[in-house]
Amino acid sequence: MARHGKKYREAAGLVEADRRYTIEEACELMPRISISTFDATVELHLRLGVDPRHADQLVRGTVVLPHGTGRSSRVIVFAQGEKAQEALRAGADEVGGEDLVKRIDDGWFEFDVAIAAPDMMGLVGRLGKKLGPRGLMPNPKSGTVTFDIERAVGEIKSGRIEFKVDRAGIVHAAVGRVSFSREQLQANVVTLVDAINRAKPSGVKGTFMRTLTIAPTMGPGLKVDIPSALAAASA
């Protein structure tokens, strides 16, 4: 196993491995433990007490982070007529129907989120095998199949993200950049943790949120005291 470099070891020296940091302390430390030379993403990893193999224990949803992720999402919209014009007015990067389907079918994937008007899903469904594995298929549960195109595009452009538990029972999400202020990062983390908590399936028994870690793209992670994040959400 490769050894960590000097910068990583120095950053790790600032972290108490057995400590559960308050949300305020963790967000304050992010810039100091990031070892990248660029404005790194801050990632959240929340382990849940669910078994994703059971459909009634899947956890997913969307939330608008108050300060965005620090990255502008490239949004495409499958729509026609007035809904296509609505998408363009809202700031969609690409809008189309059969032409857009063909571009993707030919191998174009230069976008982060795909939205579709419900009456376009018969056409978009042909792309299921290509968009599905990439997590790009429009889905009503994530708010990306909707007639309210303007709102959907606007929210995604302003910081709406989708969260979904993976097969290991963990939610992974970007919650900002290390250049964000402590207050901005804290607000984003708290908003996401609160949204996940509200998405708790009714059939889940025992502790729902097991462990919470936030970390820069390059650098050690910090274990966060979950009650402090939930308390901040209700403050």
79 shares its domain with 153: yes
Residue 200, domain extent: 18-69+160-234
The answer to whether position 10 is within a domain reads no
* Residue bearing the bigger pLDDT, 87 or 17: 87
Task: Write the CATH number for 109.
Answer: 3.40.50.790
- Asked if the model's pLDDT at residue 1 lies above 70, the reply is no
pLDDT confidence band for 132 (50 / 70 / 90) = very high
pLDDT (tens digit, 9 = 90+) per residue, 193-211? 999 999 999 888 889 999 9
149 shares its domain with 86: yes
216 shares its domain with 227: yes
87 shares its domain with 108: yes
Tell me how far apart the alpha carbons of residues 27 and 183 are, in angstroms, rounded to a whole number.
8
Domain count, the chain: 2
112 shares its domain with 176: no
Calculated CA dihedral for residues 120, 122, 124, 130, nearest 10 degrees: 170
Task: Write the CATH number for 189.
Answer: 3.30.190.20
The answer to whether position 6 is within a domain reads no
Tell me how far apart the alpha carbons of residues 229 and 86 are, in angstroms, rounded to a whole number.
38
Sign of the alpha-carbon dihedral angle for 160, 140, 47, 173: negative
Q: Are 67 and 188 in contact (CB under 8 A)?
A: yes
What do you get for the CA distance between the two ends of the chain, in Å?
A: 44
207 shares its domain with 106: no
Closest CA to 75 of 152, 164, 132: 152
pLDDT (tens digit, 9 = 90+) per residue, 94-106? 999 999 999 999 9
Q: Are 116 and 124 in contact (CB under 8 A)?
A: yes
59 shares its domain with 97: no
The answer to whether position 152 is within a domain reads yes
26 shares its domain with 130: no
The answer to whether position 5 is within a domain reads no
202 shares its domain with 87: no
pLDDT (tens digit, 9 = 90+) per residue, 174-185? 999 999 999 999
The strand pairing partners of 113, in sequence order, are 75
- Residue 122 phi/psi, 5° resolution? -60, -35
122 shares its domain with 81: yes
Q: Which residues contact 139 (CB under 8 A, 6 or more apart)?
A: 145
Sign of the alpha-carbon dihedral angle for 220, 225, 228, 229: positive
The strand pairing partners of 212, in sequence order, are 46, 224
- Asked if the model's pLDDT at residue 2 lies above 60, the reply is no
Tokens 């993976």 sit at which residue? 166
* Residue bearing the bigger pLDDT, 103 or 141: 103
Tell me how far apart the alpha carbons of residues 128 and 116 are, in angstroms, rounded to a whole number.
13
Average pLDDT on 39-57 reads 92
State the DSSP string of 23-74.
Answer: HHHHHHHHHHH---SS-PEEEEEEEES--TTSGGG--EEEEE-TT--SSPPP
Helix 182-198 to helix 226-234 angle, to the nearest 10 degrees?
90
How far apart, in Å, are the Cα atoms of 98 and each of 80, 178, 224, 225?
10, 41, 47, 49
